[in-house]
Chains A and B, each alone.
Chain A
Amino acid sequence: MEPIVYVALGAALAAGIAGAASSFGVGIAGAAAAGAVAEDEKNFRNALVLQGLPMTQSIYGLITLFLIALVSGILGGGFKFAETTTENIIKAAILLGAGLTVGLTGLSAIPQGIIASAGIGAVSKNPKTFTQAIIFAAMAETMAIFGLVGALILIITGVGF
C-alpha cells in the first residue's frame, strides 16, 4: 500500500480509537452520573468531575494526530513521504505504530469509565470517598500516558520534524 495510507491510518486511529474509547468511558460514567443525580441533585458536582476523567485519552489521541500531521507535512506544506520507497514506507509504518500505540492505550478510557462509574456510586453513598475515587480512576490513565510517551519517542526519534 502507499505510505499515505499508513500515515493517515496512524493519525486517524490515534484520535479515532482513543476518542471512541473516551466516549464509551464518559458514557458509562455518565449513566452512573445520571443515576446518582436522579436520586439526589447534590451529587452533581462530584459526579461531573469523575465523569470528566476518561476524557483525557481523547486529548492524547488528538495531540498525536496533530503531531503525525505535522511531522509528515500534512499540516503546513506538502506530504513528505508520497513516493513508495522502503524508507518512506518505514517512516509511514513508524507513524502508524505511534498512532496505534496511543489509540490502543487510549482504550484505557473504558475501564477508567467503569472505575469512575463505580466511584460515582461510592461517592453518592458516602461523599467522603471522593478523593479516593478520583485517585482510583486516575490509576487507569497511566497506560495511556505511557502510550503517549512511547509514541512521542517513536515520532521524534524515528521520523523527526
Chain B
Amino acid sequence: MRKVEVSTITAILDTSLAVIFTWVAYKTGQILWKYTPYSYPNARIRAMEARLFTEQKFNELAESKTLNNFIMNLEDSDYKPYLTSLPVLNSESIDRALDRALADTYELFYRILPKRSREFFKLLLEEWDVRNITSSVKAKLRGEVARDYISEIGTMVEKVKAIADAKSLEEILVILEGTEYEEPYQKLLLKEITPEEFETELYKNHYLKLSKYAATRKDEEKKILQEFVKLKIDKINLSTILRGKAHGLGADKLRDSLIPGGKVKRKTLEALANMEDVEMVLAELDSTEYSGIIREHREEILEDISAFEKAFDRYILQRMAELTRFYPLSIAVPLNYILQKESEIRKLKAVTKLIEDGAKPEIIKRVVGELP
C-alpha cells in the first residue's frame, strides 16, 4: 500500500514539473527573443533623441548671421565631424555634409538593429536612390544641371553622381544596367512612358517592396512597419490627387499614378480621383482617418497643396511618436528617430540657405517653424 502511494506522488510531481517547465521555457524564450535585441538600440537611440535640436537651438542658429558662425554653432553637436573639413563654405557643401550625417544614421541603425528587421532601413535608404534618379533624369530631360537636384545619400551614391554627370541619356542606361531601375528607364528611352510615368513607376516599385517587406514581418514589427508604409503611400497618393486636381487633371490620368497598399481603400481613391476640384476632394477626405489634418489646414491647403504635404508629414511624425509610446522596445523607436532626424536636417538645410541669402533672423525662425 505504502509503495503505491509514494509512486503516485512522485508521478504527479514529475508530470507537473515537465509541463510547467516546458511552458515556462517557451514563454521565457518568446519574451527574450522579442525584447532583448531592441534593448541596446532603444536606449542608444533615446539618448540620441535627447540631443536632437530644440526650438531654442534653432533660434540660436537663426541668429548666426554668417555660415561661419552657423558652423561654429554646430560645433558641440553630432554634426561636428561632418562639418569640420568642408572644402568651401556654402549652402551646397553644408547640404552634402548634412546628407552624409543622415546616411550615417541609417548606417548606424542598420548596424545596431536586430537582423530580423534592419533590412527595412536599407529599403528606406533606397527611397533616396529613387528620388535622386528621377530628379536627375527629369533635370536632364529639361536640359538643366542635374547635380543641383541630387542629395549624396542612398545605396548607390557613386552611380547617382555619374548619372548626374552623364552627357547623354544612353550613358545613363549603361550606368543603370543590372539594377532594378533599368527596365523602366529603357521604357522611358523608347518613349513608351512619359517622365512622370517613369517617376510613378519607380516610386510604385519602391513602395511595393516596402509593403512586401513589412507584410512578411511578425507581430509588433509587422504592425508598426505596415502602419508606417501605409501612411507614406497615402501621403503620396493623396498629394498626387490633390495636385492633379489643382491642375485640372482627369481621373484616367490620375488613376495610373496611384500606388496600391495604403490605408485609404482603392475605391475611395478612385472616388477622390473622380472629384471635380480640390475642395470636393477635401470634403470627401473628411470621412477618412485624416479628417483632423484636413479640418485644421483646409484654408492653407486650398491655397497651396504643399501645406497638405507638410501637415501630413507632421501627422506621420505624430503617429510614429504614439507608436513609440505603445511599443517602447520595438522598431518604432528607430523609425521615429529617423523621421525626426530627417526633419531636423530639412530645417538645417533651410537655415543654411536662408543665411546664405542674407535673410533676417525673424524670417528664418518663421520659415523653420513652418517646416514639418
What are 12 A-B contacts with C-beta separation under 8 Å? A24-B28, A28-B39, A35-B40, A36-B43, A38-B44, A38-B47, A39-B47, A39-B48, A107-B24, A114-B39, A114-B329, A117-B329
- Cβ of B6 and Cβ of A36 under 8 Å apart? no
Q: Which of A34, A110, A118 contacts B32 (CB 8 A)?
A: A110
Q: Tell me the complex Cα distance, A42–B265, Å.
A: 49
- Cβ of A110 and Cβ of B28 under 8 Å apart? yes
- Cβ of B10 and Cβ of A120 under 8 Å apart? no
Q: Smallest Cβ distance from B12 to chain A, in angstroms?
A: 9
**Residue numbers in A under 8 Å from B31 (CB-CB):** 110-111, 114
**Residue numbers in A under 8 Å from B328 (CB-CB):** 118, 121-122
B49 contacts chain A at the CB level, 8 A cutoff: yes
**Residue numbers in A under 8 Å from B50 (CB-CB):** 39-40, 124-126
Q: Which of A24, A31, A89, A114 contacts B10 (CB 8 A)?
A: A89
- Cβ of B39 and Cβ of A117 under 8 Å apart? yes
Q: Smallest Cβ distance from A73 to chain B, in angstroms?
A: 21
Q: Tell me the complex Cα distance, A35–B50, Å.
A: 13
A→B interface (CB under 8 Å): 1, 6, 21, 24, 27-29, 31-36, 38-40, 43, 47, 84-86, 89-90, 93, 96, 100, 104, 107, 110-111, 114, 117-118, 120-122, 124-126
A47, A93, A125: residue with the most chain B Cβ atoms closer than 10 Å? A125
- Cβ of B51 and Cβ of A39 under 8 Å apart? yes
- Cβ of B36 and Cβ of A31 under 8 Å apart? yes
Q: Which of A35, A96, A107 contacts B42 (CB 8 A)?
A: A35
- Cβ of A121 and Cβ of B43 under 8 Å apart? yes
For chain B, the count of residues having a C-beta within 8 Å of the partner chain is: 32
Q: Smallest Cβ distance from B33 to chain A, in angstroms?
A: 12
Q: Smallest Cβ distance from B30 to chain A, in angstroms?
A: 11
Q: Tell me the complex Cα distance, A89–B8, Å.
A: 11
**Residue numbers in B under 8 Å from A35 (CB-CB):** 39-45, 47, 112
Q: Tell me the complex Cα distance, A124–B14, Å.
A: 47
Chain B residue nearest to A36 (CB atoms) is B43
B366 contacts chain A at the CB level, 8 A cutoff: no
- Cβ of B46 and Cβ of A36 under 8 Å apart? yes
Q: Mark B1-41, 1 if CB is under 8 A from A, else 0.
A: 01001100110011001001000100010011001100111
- Cβ of A32 and Cβ of B42 under 8 Å apart? yes
* Contact (A118, B24) CB under 8 Å given A32-B40, A96-B13: no
Chain B residue nearest to A33 (CB atoms) is B43
Further 4 A-B residue pairs, CB within 8 A, beyond A35-B41, A125-B50: A28-B36, A117-B329, A120-B43, A121-B329
Q: Tell me the complex Cα distance, A36–B332, Å.
A: 18
B320 contacts chain A at the CB level, 8 A cutoff: no
Q: Tell me the complex Cα distance, A104–B25, Å.
A: 11
**Residue numbers in B under 8 Å from A125 (CB-CB):** 46-47, 49-50
**Residue numbers in B under 8 Å from A121 (CB-CB):** 42-43, 45-47, 328-329, 333
**Residue numbers in B under 8 Å from A6 (CB-CB):** 13
- Cβ of B47 and Cβ of A43 under 8 Å apart? yes
**Residue numbers in B under 8 Å from A40 (CB-CB):** 47, 50-51
Chain B residue nearest to A114 (CB atoms) is B35
Q: Tell me the complex Cα distance, A47–B46, Å.
A: 13
Chain A residue nearest to B49 (CB atoms) is A125
Q: Tell me the complex Cα distance, A120–B43, Å.
A: 6
Q: Tell me the complex Cα distance, A90–B12, Å.
A: 12
Q: Tell me the complex Cα distance, A27–B45, Å.
A: 18
Q: Which of A86, A100, A107, A117 contacts B43 (CB 8 A)?
A: A117
